[in-house]
Amino acid sequence: MDPKDLASICSPANVTCFAFSGDRLLLRTDPEPSLPVREDLSELPLSELSPRCGMPGRPGNCWVSIANDAPLPAGMSLVSLRDVWSLLGEQAFFEAGRAFQLMEWSLLNRFCGRCATPMIEVERETARECPACGTISYPPVSPAIIVAVEKDGKLLLARSTRFPRGRYSILAGFVEPGETLEGAVEREVMEEVSIRVKNIVYFGSQPWPFPHSLMVGFRAEWGSGEIRVDGNEIESAGWYSPDSFPDIPPSLSISRRLIDDFLARHG
């Protein structure tokens, strides 16, 4: 893609544009971390997979994919999405996450799933349309629950096989078709640690771009049963009092917000 085509993606020139190389985001690092604008990328070779139109009215709608092995502009570097939170703050993390999800959806929907015709971008909304059969694809959002389960002033913390060494957190899982959010809470806790919960209360939500989730947080109380981990997703779990916590997730996730809420009430 010719760099001059960037003008058709993001206009005006000073609009923030999220430029990705794989799953890493390009940031200006000199004199301090900041997101680039369109004119910063004017000489950057872009992938042919970059969009031909953009919707700069909404943060995160303007994204481009950098060509493989493209030299980075002076004063810029690539960072992970998770690093955006600490470098630029929560709002930038959410906007970058939206841009990344739009990019992944766009790259995975280049062709119609019904008739295999190349899809085209719809300029009036965030969608891709098949010019042959009219099939329209929208960015997916996969709801997932995450729950803080309490018992006698202790919090249920579990270690997933995917976590960094020593890390524990609260339980989470994707909602299945035909399932309520509360039903997903009950099922996930039973499947992973073999206990029943009660008094399920909504806490809050958070978009999570790994890959395209909406995390819906709950608090719940132990109802019955003894902890028995499934040995598949969860390798160990237990009830922890505030003064005996193991390593827990960093502050960017709703899991930490739920844990901090427990500590504020019981610490």
CA pair distance 99, 113, nearest whole angstrom:
23
Predicted pLDDT of residue 240: 97
Give which of 124, 131, 133 is closest to 53, Cα–Cα.
124
Q: What is the mean pLDDT of residues 6-12?
A: 52
CA pair distance 54, 229, nearest whole angstrom:
47
Predicted pLDDT of residue 59: 56
User: Domain ranges in the chain?
Assistant: 3-91, 142-266
Predicted pLDDT of residue 4: 46
Decide if pLDDT at 51 tops 80.
no
String of DSSP letters for 40-80: GGTT--B-TTS-S---TTSTT--EEEBPTTPPPPTTEEEEE
Q: Cis omega (within 30 of 0) on the bond before 12?
A: yes
pLDDT (tens digit, 9 = 90+) per residue, 182-213?
999 999 999 999 999 999 999 999 999 988 99
CA pair distance 62, 15, nearest whole angstrom:
8
Domain 142-266 is classified in which CATH homologous superfamily?
Nucleoside Triphosphate Pyrophosphohydrolase (3.90.79.10)
Decide if pLDDT at 55 tops 50.
no
Question: Are 53 and 8 within 8 A, CB to CB?
Answer: yes
